[in-house]
């Protein structure tokens, strides 16, 4: 039983290793790039809004 369990573990890791070695499809890199771009745009828009508020505050003083 112990040997069989060892064999199982070995076979399982082999099969899993095979899956891990497959190249990552481009769709995932494209996805991360899109998320990155969207987050940057959102951050930039936030900066712009803050800038407008700051200006108003300054004008009001």
Contacts with other proteins by CB under 8 A lie at 1, 4-5, 7-9, 11-16, 18-25, 27-29, 31-32, 35-36, 39-40, 42-43, 46
DSSP sequence for 19-37? HHTSPPPHHHHHHHHHHHH
CA–CA gap between residue 30 and residue 24 (Å, rounded):
11
As measured in angstroms, the least distance from the Cβ of 55 to other proteins is: 21
CA–CA gap between residue 42 and residue 35 (Å, rounded):
10
As measured in angstroms, the least distance from the Cβ of 49 to other proteins is: 12
Instruction: Identify which of residues 29 and 54 has a Cβ nearer to other proteins in the complex.
Output: 29
């Amino acid at each position: 039983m112990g040997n069989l369990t060892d064999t199982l573990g070995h076979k399982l890791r082999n099969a899993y290793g095979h899956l891990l070695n497959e190249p990552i499809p481009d769709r995932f890199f494209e996805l991360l790039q899109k998320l990155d771009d969207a987050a940057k745009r959102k951050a930039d828009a936030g900066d712009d809004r803050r800038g407008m508020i700051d200006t108003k505050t300054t004008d009001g003083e």
